[in-house]
């Protein structure tokens, strides 16, 4: 797989370098026609690799130096770095980019929660959770325990508004043991009664933390949920 990616990188960057020299004043893709499968492969490789680099936080490269490095390898010239040194350099730089990205996400989450808790109607708990009541249930009603199963409708978003899950759109409420979900859910739902609908703000350490959750929830994400508690199914005592 690494060899394939490197080959794609070489093709796309060589193509990009040649086109940049010919079309300096034009939009990158303006006037370009793909006449062969190699042309289309090269352009597709460029898009794919650029998106991968952007996802790692890399937006600036010294293209001429990259071209020299590739040319030296392809021409079997002596390189300024050994393959091991090059690999280590790339790894260190990617770690730096990832660290900056992580710190930015953490900072945005902290800033968001600090601003959020100052809003009227938002209640901040000592553990970092925040919530506001959208619909009040019976204050004397039953509250679930960690051992119980809950039935809920919910909508989950990131702080930028990106929606990553929505049981309402699926047309069926979710059902799960309360002790088997993220800590923020386990703790906040124990405060809710049936019929309650709350908007809940969950700091990353009570969510998915440094691991995130798939492609939809980046590491260290602060999460927002609208949770509507429909039913509590008490645990069967043995």
The predicted-structure confidence for 165-175, as pLDDT tens digits, reads as follows: 999 999 999 99
Query: Residue 107 domain-assigned?
Result: no
Residue 35 structure tokens? 């006449």
At residue 26, the pLDDT reads: 42
In tens, the pLDDT along 32-55 reads 788 888 888 878 877 887 787 777
Query: Residue 223 domain-assigned?
Result: yes
At residue 7, the pLDDT reads: 45
For residues 71 and 18, the answer to whether their CB atoms sit within 8 Å is no
38 is catalytic: no
In tens, the pLDDT along 96-138 reads 877 887 788 888 999 999 999 999 999 999 999 999 999 999 9
Whether residues 51 and 139 fall in one domain: no
Q: H or E stretch including 91? A: helix 83-116
Whether residues 158 and 214 fall in one domain: yes
User: For residue 175, what are the domain limits?
Assistant: 120-233
* Confidence check: pLDDT of 153 > 50: yes
Rounded to an integer, the average pLDDT of 141-164 is: 95
Marked catalytic residue, from 201, 208, 227, 228: 208
At residue 237, the pLDDT reads: 67
Query: Residue 92 domain-assigned?
Result: no
Whether residues 200 and 127 fall in one domain: yes
CATH code for position 197: 3.10.50.40
Rounded to whole angstroms, how far apart are CA atoms 132 and 50? Answer: 41
Distance of CA 112 to the CA centre of its chain: 17
Whether residues 71 and 142 fall in one domain: no
At residue 66, the pLDDT reads: 76
pLDDT band at 57 (very low <50, low <70, confident <90, very high): low
At residue 28, the pLDDT reads: 59
Q: H or E stretch including 225? A: strand 223-233
Whether residues 66 and 166 fall in one domain: no
Whether residues 69 and 136 fall in one domain: no
Marked catalytic residue, from 225, 227, 228, 232: 225
165 is catalytic: yes
Marked catalytic residue, from 112, 131, 154, 220: 154
- Phi, psi of 16, deg, nearest 5: -65, -40
Whether residues 224 and 125 fall in one domain: yes
At residue 127, the pLDDT reads: 94
- For residues 90 and 84, the model is more confident at 84
* Confidence check: pLDDT of 228 > 90: yes
Residue 75 structure tokens? 């021409």
154 is catalytic: yes
Number of domains within the chain = 2
Rounded to whole angstroms, how far apart are CA atoms 221 and 182? Answer: 13
Query: Residue 89 domain-assigned?
Result: no
Pairing of strands 174-177, 197-202: unpaired
The residue from 48, 63, 80 where one domain ends is: 80
58 is catalytic: no
Dump strand ranges (E) for 121-167. Answer: 123-124, 130-135, 149-158, 163-166
Q: H or E stretch including 174? A: strand 174-177
Whether residues 67 and 168 fall in one domain: no
Marked catalytic residue, from 14, 49, 68, 182: 182
At residue 25, the pLDDT reads: 42
């Amino acid at each position: 797989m690494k060899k394939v990616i490197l080959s794609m990188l070489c093709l796309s960057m060589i193509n990009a370098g040649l086109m940049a020299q010919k079309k300096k004043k034009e939009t990158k893709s303006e006037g370009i026609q793909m006449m062969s499968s190699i042309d289309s492969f090269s352009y597709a490789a460029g898009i794919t690799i650029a998106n991968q680099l952007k996802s790692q936080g890399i937006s600036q490269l010294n293209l001429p130096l990259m071209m020299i490095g590739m040319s030296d390898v392809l021409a079997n010239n002596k390189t300024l770095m050994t393959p091991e040194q090059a690999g280590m350099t790339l790894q260190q730089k990617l770690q730096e980019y990832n660290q900056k990205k992580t710190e930015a996400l953490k900072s945005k989450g902290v800033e968001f929660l600090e601003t959020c808790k100052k809003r009227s109607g938002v209640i901040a708990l000592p553990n970092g959770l925040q919530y506001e009541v959208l619909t009040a249930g019976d204050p004397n009603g039953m509250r679930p325990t960690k051992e119980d199963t809950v039935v809920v409708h919910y909508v989950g978003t990131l702080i930028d508004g990106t929606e990553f899950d929505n049981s309402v759109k699926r047309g069926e409420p979710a059902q799960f043991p309360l002790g088997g979900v993220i800590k923020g859910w386990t703790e906040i739902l124990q405060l809710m009664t049936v019929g309650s609908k709350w908007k809940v703000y969950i700091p990353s350490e009570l969510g998915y933390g440094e691991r995130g959750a798939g492609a939809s929830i980046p590491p260290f994400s602060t999460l927002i949920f609208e949770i509507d508690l429909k039913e509590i199914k008490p645990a069967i005592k043995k």
